[in-house]
Amino acid sequence: MPVTPRGIMLFSVSSVALPATWGRLHGVWLAFRGLYSHGASAVGASLVLLFLILAVVGPWIAPYGENEQIFTAARQPPSSEHWFGADRLGRDVFSRVLLGTRDIFALAGLGTLLAVLSGTTVGLFSGYLGGWLDEGIMRLFDSLLAMPALLLALLLLGTIGQSRQGILFVIVVVYTPIVARVVRSVVLGVKNKGFVDAARTQGEPIPAILVREILPSVLPALAVEAALRFSYAIFLVASLGFLGVGVQPPEPDWGLMVSEARANVTQTPWALYFPAAAIALLVIGVNLMADGLKRVLQERD
């Protein structure tokens, strides 16, 4: 190994960068574990975990099919046979709420993941490079953020059509700017620090600097932001279903179930209350978890 200033710098930066990255990732994982040290965040994390388990095992434990009609059970209130009652078409509400969990995680979860990935990528490059590129991207994002999320989603779906892929695209477009701005703000604070200057001096390419030097500093804020975006995405998917422009009948979408039950709320109120309660519980759980994650990360800092 050459004993030159450049060689010594290469050894020190390259050998430390990867362990530092994994150290930050391990820190985020420990923060998730630390959620159970606070009452409210423990409740939130437990609710999210419960819904996630139901989404996975739902198809195997649902007593009825999502569109299975039992005409003799139509408008039946909650009972030992139908825990959440049956709707006006004789469909088991418990089975539909249970199977709808899978859809809400698939759409809101995958959409949030894509928005976080795209927002992180744009935020890293925009904040690091700066200049006219950063200014142009931020002004474009400002124009998107100036419009209410639901209104923007309706405009986009009206343009590209109603489909699951369209809903995913909407979530990505709506929430990428917010994630990008959060990531960019962190990048602006660390891009001129000594360890980043050292990586630049030794000639590391920009992608390597962003991933190995800057991304670890972004991860804590990104974890909290991802949890918040997920809660907003859940509400957005449910709102689109309620308005009839999201998941289409006869799928067991929670928002769509609330919309369909409105007309018969005096006869089958349980068909409205249970999916609405599922939406509320999951959103509350994710928000409590996000608040707890932020608190744990602040305590670690």
- 139-157: pLDDT as tens digits: 999 999 999 999 999 999 9
pLDDT given for residue 29 in this prediction: 60
Overall residue count recorded for the chain in this entry: 301
Q: What is the pTM of this model?
A: 0.84
Fill in the amino acid letter for 59.
Answer: P
Regarding predicted confidence, which is higher, 23 or 64? 64
φ/ψ of residue 86, rounded to 5: -130, 150
Regarding predicted confidence, which is higher, 299 or 187? 187
Please give the span between the terminal C-alpha atoms of the chain, in angstroms, as a whole number.
36
Give CA–CA dist 155/157, Å, rounded.
Answer: 6
Query: How many domains is the chain partitioned into structurally?
Result: 1
pLDDT given for residue 8 in this prediction: 40
Each residue's pLDDT tens digit, 82-108: 999 999 999 999 999 999 999 999 999
Query: Predicted confidence band at 6 (pLDDT cuts at 50, 70, 90)?
Result: very low
Q: Is the pLDDT of residue 72 over 90?
A: no
pLDDT given for residue 13 in this prediction: 43
Q: Is the pLDDT of residue 134 over 70?
A: yes
pLDDT given for residue 141 in this prediction: 94
DSSP 17-64: HHHHHHHHHHHHHHHHHGGGGSHHHHHHHHHHHHHHHHHHHHHHH-SS
pLDDT given for residue 192 in this prediction: 86
pLDDT given for residue 9 in this prediction: 42
Averaged pLDDT for residues 247-252: 88
Q: What average pLDDT does the chain have?
A: 86
pLDDT given for residue 61 in this prediction: 93
Q: Which residues of 167-201 are buried (b: 16+ CB within 10 A; e: fewer)?
A: bbbbbbbbbbbbbbbbbbebbeebbeeebbebbee
Closest to 87 (Cα-Cα) out of 69, 101, 105: 69
pLDDT given for residue 71 in this prediction: 87
Domain that holds residue 160: 5-300
**Domain at 220, CATH number:** 1.10.3720.10
Q: Is the pLDDT of residue 198 over 70?
A: yes
Query: Predicted confidence band at 174 (pLDDT cuts at 50, 70, 90)?
Result: very high
